[in-house]
Homo-oligomer: A and B are copies of this chain.
């Protein structure tokens, strides 16, 4: 049996692409949206047709066991999974900058050896988990003065090393992808339940380096809340923090690496907090006629101390486009989960809050423990999980579907939403000459504000897709940050968000990060162009 191979240009495994029916259904949506009938796709690229630059560096004998310069591996590690990454590949725009070598370390010693080699030769080292970055976090840098780039793929560091059932925590290697992590935990009855959209193709180390956010909409949102301690390999040596629930002893060292995006070190393992597998679940979908009131209900719930697992408010335009409903209402997907107690009183109170703001729901859904997998919520969920598989087909047809997401205080949210929608729609119109669509949902909510997630759709010109994408993305991001939102709640920075991050981050903190990088990575080997410049 041949091992399954990942698609080098799209999402997932080569043998698990979107079905013809799924593509057809998407095409119908785009046809309605853009008033266009014919979507002749460009054919998907094959490795054979691509004339890849030969590797510019020679792998030292001592590293041959863990390094390769094989074409497919270099191709696979050329890009992340942003719209413009996919457009570059699918529209054959640019295969000029693959990594020269892909390293597959099996130990921290391997990583240190690769980092040493890179330092000696002036090569860049790009840490790589699942490769799902949508912000240019794993793309080899394009600065001309380096003799070569090495991608450090942590896929072999994929084991759950230790479980502490009493404290509900596990020590897990950083290269472990979502499904593998859950499979190894299953016999213990514990789960991380960190179900982000890229779960199948993202790793624990990637979640940590990018401050990813997972399944829970409240209380345990970002990976920051899960990390008990870290091991990080840096060119200056290994840094390991002690395993305690929390401490008041000085600044938390783990927090320097949460969000460090591979620029300060390579996370190799972490103790993370787990949950018991939920045994109780109650879910429903609440309909609102007034979006402002729906937002208010969500705010009150977020400040209630009820801590729902899901409190995803989807505005009617998104409901309609995803066919989760007819678009007459904004929908709030509301659920509670517990491994400890029945959740009747929790849901009752949350629904009371919804009712105060005009929310309506079907009582019978409450009795169905699987109601999150059926009805409107179920239809929305299916679209969510299959979304990444369809993006490559959209791009092959000139359709851009991208997201910008943020976090903002409640007092600024309605204004931010209005400005992002207005600016993005205007940019789509100006850039593509056609109307587009911008919709928003909440992915996570905090007592002090929501994390709004905007999806925009535009039909571009296949020959100018990357340039068009950037004009629209920039307009959306400018509006979002000007309205007081952060440039990202959980998609991270990579290279794509640097210009907004550089404005958002206090300048003196950049000075501190540069100083930290000089200490930990004195030869500036790690992920150049990300986080901070030397």
Contact = CB atoms under 8 A, between A and B. Distances in A.
Interface of A: 164, 166-169, 210-213, 219, 221-222, 224, 228, 234, 236-253, 255-261, 273, 276, 299-300, 303-307, 338, 340-341, 344-345, 349, 407-411, 446-451, 484-493, 497, 501, 504-509, 511-513, 515-516, 518-520, 531
Contact of A249 (B276, B305, B349, B504): B504
B504 A253 contact: no
Contacts of A305: 219, 307, 338, 340-341
B251 A340 contact: no
B447 A492 contact: no
Given A168-B303, A168-B447, A252 B258 contact: yes
A211 B252 CA distance: 10
A413 B263 CA distance: 36
Contact of A340 (B242, B259, B304, B484): B304
Task: Pick from A219, A248, A407, A531 the residue with the most CB of B within 10 Å.
Answer: A248
B409 A513 contact: no
Contacts of A504: 242, 247, 249
Contact of A345 (B252, B345, B487): B345
A510 to B, nearest CB: 9
Contacts of A244: 407-409, 449, 484-486
Contacts of A257: 251
A169 B408 CA distance: 13
B246 A221 contact: yes
A349 B280 CA distance: 14
Given A307-B305, A516-B515, A509 B253 contact: yes
B249 A505 contact: yes
